[in-house]
Chain A
Amino acid sequence: MPSTTFKLRKLIGVCLLALYLLLGVPVWYKLTTTYRAPLPIEYIHALHEDKLQDIHMVIPVYIKCDTYRFPDLHEAVQVQVNSLLNSKNQNVPWSLQLMPYDAKKLQDSNTSKGADYHVVNLVLDGFVGFSLAYDAKETTVFFDDSSVITNDLPFFIAQTVVEHAFELEWSELSSEKSLKATNSMAISYRPNIHVSISLLTGDGYPVSWEIDSTLKKYFSPLRKFLSPLVNFTVDTGILYYNDLNLHTLNTRKNVTWQDLSHSIDLSELLSMNYFSESASLNLAVVFPSEQNCKHGLSFINDNWDGFLVPQWGMIVVNKYPLKQNSSLTERYLTPIMYQFATNIFQLLGLKKDSQELISPSITIDSFKRITILQNIHKAEETLWSLAKLTQAFQTMSIPKEVLRNVTEALELRLQIVDMLNDPFQGDDELWNRALILSNQLVELSEAAFFHGEMVQQNFFPQEHKLAVYLPLLGPITVVTFFGFIRLIKEKPDDKKKRSNEPEKPTGNVVEKTYELEE
C-alpha cells in the first residue's frame, strides 16, 4: 500500500534524524569532551569577594591582679578594647576576649606547655606604665591608686594591650591594606626553610672556620626558639676562587650600594638548589682575593660590612683578603652570627626594620596569627585563580583530584576559621596547630592549581577533534539531512496518483520488492 509506505518512510527518516540529534550528537560530545570536575566556583568567588565574612579572630587575654580584686575589670576593659578596635576600619575582623585570670585552668596548661595564654599582670606601683615580657606572652601593667580612682585603668589596659602587646595585629589587620604580603625584604612564609652559610674566598688558600661551635652556641637556640614557626635545616660550606665579583668594584671610587647590587654575582650560590626545602636563606662571608685586591676592598670602611639582600639573605664583605692557612675563630664569627640572627627576623617578615625585637615571644605569637590569616588569604587567592583559569579555558580538563584537593582545602579552611573564631581557645598549641593546618591549606590549594593534567590538556584544540571525526560525521550528516529534506519535499503518493494510472495489486509489489532485495 503506497500510502502506508510513505508514512513509514517518513517515520523512519524522522527516527533516524532524531537518533542522530538526540542520541548520536550527545554521545559523541560526551565521549569526546574532556572531564571537567564541578568545582564550587560560586563559593570560591564568594570567598574572593569576601562576601562570607566568616572570619572573626578572637584572642583570649587573661587579666591577673594580685594586689586588688577587680571583679568587673575585665568587662570594663572589654568595652574599652571593643571601642578602640571599632575606631579603626578592620580589613580582617579581630577582637580580644578579656577574662579574669583563672589560676586553675592556666596553671594546668602552664605545667605542660609553659606560658600558653596571653596574660596581663596588674602591678601596683608608684607610676603608670607597662612592660612586655621578653620570653613569655605576658604584659605587665603598672598602675597607681589614682588611676583606679579616676577609672582610667580599663582604658589604659586596653590601650596597652591593643596598641602594644598586639601591635602586629593592630597594624596589619586594622588598616586599609590587604593581607597580601607586600614586604619586599621578606621571603614568602614556608614552614621549612634551608639556611646556607658559606665562606667565600677569592683565593685558593686553605682556610678554616670554627663554624660548628659557633652555630651550636648561637644558632641552635634561635632554631629552637623559632621552631613553632619555622624549621631550619642548615648547611655550611667553603667556596674557593669566588669573591662574588667584588674585585671589579675596587677600581671605582664612591661605591654606592647600587653599584654593589649591580656587580655582585650570586649565581654560584643561587644555583645550589639541591635541598628539598622550597625556600632558603643565605649567609655569605666573603673575603676578596689577595691576587686581585692586596690592599683590601677600598669601599669597605670597617673591617667588614654586612649587606642585606632582599629575599636572599645577608652578605658579609670583608675588607682584607685572608692569608694562607687562616682560621676564622668564634670571636670573629659571633658578631656576624648575631647580625644574621637579627636579620633573619627581618627576612622572615617578623619585623619591618632592622630594630631589635623587644618582645620576641609576643611578636612570634602575633606573627603566627598573621601568617595563618595570610595563608588563608593566599589559599583563597590561589583557588580563585584556579576558578578563573578553568572558566577562561573551557576545553581544559579538570581531574577529580583537583576537585578533591579543592574540597579538602575548603573544609580545612573552615576548620581553621573555627579555631580562630573560638573566643576561649588561644593557647600556643592552638596557634601552632592552626599554623600547620594553614600550611597544609596552602599546599592543597597549590596542588590543585598546579595539577599537571590540567595544563597538559589545555592546548588540545577543539578543531583537532573535529578534524579527526569529520570523515565519519560528514557523510552521515549529509546522508541523514539530505535524505530527510528529500523526504519532506516528496509529494505523498496519493497526490501523485491522481495524475497517474491506478495501481496494480499489492501482492505484486511485495514480490517485486523481494526481487529487488535479492
Chain B
Amino acid sequence: MVRLIGIVGWIGLLNSVIGVVKADETSLKFQIDQDIDLQDDCNESLGNHEDSCNSGFLFNEDGSETEIEVTETIIEDAPRPTINLRDKEDDSIIVEDQIWYPYREHLTVKPLPKNYLLTSFDFNTESNEFIPGRPSTDFDDYSHYTVFPKAFKPILDQTSTRQLHLRFTRGFWDAESWGRLPYDGFKSGGSGVEIWAILEAASKDSAFSQWKTLVNSLSGLFCASMNFIDGAKTTFPVEAFHPMADSTLPLFDNSNKLYLIRAALANEPICTENLTPLVKLFPTKGKSGITTLLDGHKVFDSTWHSLSVDISTECYEQTDRCIHTLQALVDMVINVPKTLARNENPIPKPLPSDKLRCDLDKPYDAFHCFQLPYETEGSYGLSELFGKYIQGSSLMSEEPSQVCVEISDNWNSFIQVNGSLFATADDCFELKDFQQQDIYFESNNTNEVLDVEPVPVYVSRSLTGYGQDRGGLRTVFMNPQNEPVTLIYFETLPWFMRIYLSTMHLEKNAQSPVNISLDDILQSTYYMPAADRIRPTHLEYRITIPANTTLAVSYQFDKSLLQYAEYPPDANHGFEIESAVITVIDPTAYQLRTATLLLLLSTPDFSMPYNVIILTSTVMGLIFGTLFNLLVKKMLTVEEADKIQEGNSLQHKIQVVKGKIMTKSKFKYQEVKNDLKE
C-alpha cells in the first residue's frame, strides 16, 4: 500500500523547525572542529594551568606572588581573543563582552568589645522582569530565572504576596556593650522564627487563607515548623511592621486591598536545615565567593545569629512590568577566643598548668591561680573562625564580592591571597576570582574597637507573680538619652494568657518620676482581645519615654486551663511567649525585641483521665450493684431472718453437732451399760 506522508505543515511551524535543524546540523558539525581549536588557544594563554580534569580548585598554597599576577592577567585577558575567534566563524554560542546579573554579595566584619566579632553577610538579587497578573498557562508566558531563586516566584504568585519578610534569629544580643543591632534592628527578629508578609487579597478571610498557603510552602522550603502557624498565632499589625513610607507596593488588581499579616514561633530552634536552603538560594551555591564561609557548624556555634530574607515587589510604571527584589542577610556574633579555643581543643578539657594565665598581682602557686581575662593582643584569620577559606569571588556580579572590615586604628587587617598578605587604605577587599583567600586581623588591644552607636531605648520584659492561676507582665523601658523617645510597642500573647487591660499601670518606684501617669505618655492603644483557640491577644500602643527615665508598665493576666490534647509533649517545659517588638519612631528609626518568655501553666497529671474513668466507673458500678441487689434480692421479716440465721448460725450448728454426738455417745454408753449388766 502506498503511504503518503503529511501534506500540510502543522501550522507551518514544525516544518520551519525542521528546516532550521537541517541547516543547523551542518553548522554544528562545523562547530566541533572550531571548538577544539578554541580549546587549544585557551591552553596556550592559560599556560600555567595544568590539565586538571580531576582536581578541584587550581591553586595550591605554596604558590608565589608572581604566580598570582600571571593568573590575574589571564583572567582578565583570556576572553578577548576568544571573542574575536567566535565572532568570525560561529554564532551558535557567542561570547559577549560582558555579562553580569543583578547579584551582589558583601561581607562586613566588625570587631566588638570583649573579643566579640560581628560578621554580616549581605546578598542582594533581583528577578527577571515579569508582567503582573498574567496566568502562567498563557501560551506565551515563560518565567525566566537567572540569579533569582526559582522557588519563590511560584509561591509569591500563588499567594499574591507583594512583600515577604522572614527572620530566623537565635541568641542574645548584648545591647549594652555591643550597641545597636545591625541594620538598626530592622533585619533581625526575636528569638525563634518570625514571618510577616503583605498580601493582596479581596477580603481579610481570603488574605488569611493565602497566608496559610504561604507559610506552609515556606515551611517546606526552609525546613522550619512554620506549618504550625494558624489563626491563634497570626495577627494583623496596625502600626508596627508597616513598610517605610518611601516605598509603595503595587496592586495587581485594583479592586483588592493589601493586608499585612504577621506570626512568630517563639524560641524555635534555628539550625543547619534552615541555613542550607538559604545558601542554596544564591547562584554561587556556597561554591565561590563569601558563601563558601557559611558552614552550619560555625554559624550556629556563635553567640548570636540571625538569618533574614526580605522579598519585595517593584513595578515600573512606564513598562507595566515588575520585578522581585531579594535581600538575604546572615549576621552573627562570634566569641573569638572561644571559637579559637574550640579549634585547638574540640573536646573542652582543663588547660595544663603551664598554659594558665594567672594574675600575678594576686597570690598564685601550683594550686592557686586567679585567671586573667582573655588576651587583648592577638591575630586571627576568618578561616580560623569559619574553618574554611574564601574560594574565589562571585563571577556573575558586576562588581566582585567584597569584604569590608570596620576597625579602629590599633587594628590591622589584611587579605591573604595565595600565601601573601595585602592591605588596602579603606580596609575593603575585593575578592579575586578562583583564588583561595583569607582575611586576617591583628591588634595590640582587641578591646579597643570603633565606638558603638548608643541604643535609643532599652526594653526588657518579664513575668511576675507566682502560682498557677494568675500572673503579671512587666515591661521596663529605659531611655538613656537626653531626649524623649517615641516608640510603638507591639505584643501578641497566646489566648491562654487572659490579660486584664484595666490593670495596666505605671509602676511606682524610686527611680520613676512621680508626676507622670500612664495617660500622659500613652498616645494610642490598639487592643484586640484574644478568642480562645482562634486568635491571640494583640496589643499595640504608642508610648513616649521621657529623657533619662526608666518606666515600668505592668498588667495582670489569668492563666487558663488547656484541653488535654493541647499540651505539648514536654508540657512541663512551659510555653514560649514570643518577644514584644519595639519600633522606635522618634528621634531615630530603630527596632528591637525583648527576650522570649517561658510561661508555666498548670500541667495536669496525664494519667488523670484514665483515673477519672476508673473512679467514676467504680462508683457507677457500686450504685448499680446496690440497686440491682435491692430490686432482685429476697425480702424477709426479721423473725424469718432470725430463724434462718439461727439455723445457719455457728452456735446452732455446734448444738446440732453436739446433740448428734451426745445421742451417739448416749447410745454407746447405754450399750456399754447394758453389756456390763449382762
Q: A residues engaging B (CB < 8 A)?
A: 5-6, 9, 12-13, 16, 127-136, 192, 203-208, 211-212, 215-216, 218-221, 223-225, 227, 231-238, 240-242, 247, 250-251, 272, 274-276, 291-296, 302-304, 319-320, 322-329, 331-332, 334-335, 337-338, 341, 358-361, 468-469, 471-472, 474-476, 479-480, 483, 487, 490, 493, 501, 503-504, 508-509, 512-513, 515-516
A338 in contact with B20 given A295-B39, A327-B93, A513-B635 (CB within 8 Å): yes
A490 to B634: give the CA distance in the assembly, Å: 10
The complex places the Cα of A237 from the Cα of B287 at a distance, in Å, of: 18
Complex contact A476–B621 (CB within 8 A): yes
> Mind listing 15 A-B residue pairs with CB under 8 Å?
A5-B634, A9-B632, A129-B1, A134-B7, A134-B10, A219-B142, A235-B145, A237-B150, A323-B79, A323-B95, A328-B93, A331-B20, A331-B27, A331-B91, A337-B17
Chain B residue, CB-CB nearest to A234: B142
Q: Is the CB of B394 within 8 A of A204?
A: yes
Residues 264-297 (chain B) with a chain A CB within 8 angstroms: 283-285, 287-288
Query: How far apart are A457's CB and chain B's nearest CB, in angstroms?
Result: 15
**Once the chains bind, are A325 and B217 in contact (CB under 8 Å)?**
no
B35 within 8 A of A: yes
Closest to A236 in B: B144
B139 is contacted by which of A207, A220, A335, A358 (Cβ under 8 Å)?
Answer: A220
**Residues of B close to A487: CB separation below 8 A:** 632
**What is the CB-to-nearest-CB distance from A343 to chain B, in angstroms, rounded to a whole number?**
13
Known: A9-B634, A129-B4. 11 other contacts (CB 8 A): A6-B634, A16-B632, A205-B396, A241-B285, A250-B54, A303-B29, A324-B395, A326-B94, A472-B621, A476-B620, A512-B636
A135 touches B11 (CB 8 A): yes
Q: Is the CB of B395 within 8 A of A233?
A: no
Residue of B nearest to A241 (CB): B287
CB <8 Å contact, B621 and A474:
yes
Residues A238 and B145 in contact, CB atoms below 8 Å apart: yes
B423 to chain A, nearest CB (A): 27
* Distance between A504 CB and nearest chain B CB, rounded to angstroms: 6
Whether the Cβ atoms of B39 and A12 lie closer than 8 Å is no
Which A residue's beta carbon lies closest to that of B100?
A: A206
Question: Interface segment, B151-159, B558-566, B664-672?
Answer: B151-159
Asked if A480 and B628 make an inter-chain contact with CB atoms under 8 angstroms apart, the answer reads yes
B617 near A475: Cβ-Cβ < 8 Å: yes
8 Å CB contact of A134 from B8, B94, B635: B8
B residues whose Cβ falls under 8 Å from a Cβ of A: 1-11, 13-14, 17-18, 20-21, 24-25, 27-29, 31-32, 35, 38-39, 42-43, 49, 51-58, 78-79, 82, 86, 91-101, 136-137, 139-147, 150-152, 154-155, 158, 217, 221, 283-285, 287-288, 392, 394-396, 610, 613-614, 616-618, 620-622, 624-625, 628-629, 631-640, 643
CA distance A130 to B1 in the complex (A): 8
Contact B150 A272 (CB under 8 A): yes
With A9-B632, A320-B35, A471-B614 in contact, is A221–B13 under 8 Å at CB? yes
Chain B residues in 8 Å Cβ range of A359: 6
Q: Are B288 and A204 in contact (CB under 8 A)?
A: yes
A358 touches B8 (CB 8 A): no
Q: Given the complex, which residues of B lie within 8 Å of A276, measured CB to CB?
A: 154, 158
Residue of B nearest to A470 (CB): B617
Given the known interface contacts A236-B143, A302-B28, the answer about A292 and B54 at a Cβ–Cβ threshold of 8 Å is yes
Chain A hits for B100, CB < 8 A: 206
* Complex Cα spacing A204 to B640, Å: 109
Most chain B beta carbons < 10 A, residue from A220, A328, A487: A220
What residue in chain A is nearest B289 (Cβ atoms)? A204
Bound complex: CA A475 to CA B39 (Å): 92
Cβ–Cβ < 8 Å partners of A474 in chain B? 621
A240 touches B99 (CB 8 A): no
Q: Which residues of A contact B140 (CB under 8 A)?
A: 216, 220
Report the separation of the CA atoms of residues A220 and B141 in the bound assembly, to the nearest whole angstrom: 9
Residues of A within 8 A of B136 (CB): 233-234
Please measure, in the bound complex, the distance between the C-alpha atom of A218 and the C-alpha atom of B392, giving whole angstroms. 39
State whether A325 and B98 are in contact (beta carbons under 8 Å apart), knowing that A6-B634, A237-B144, A335-B21 are contacts in the complex.
yes
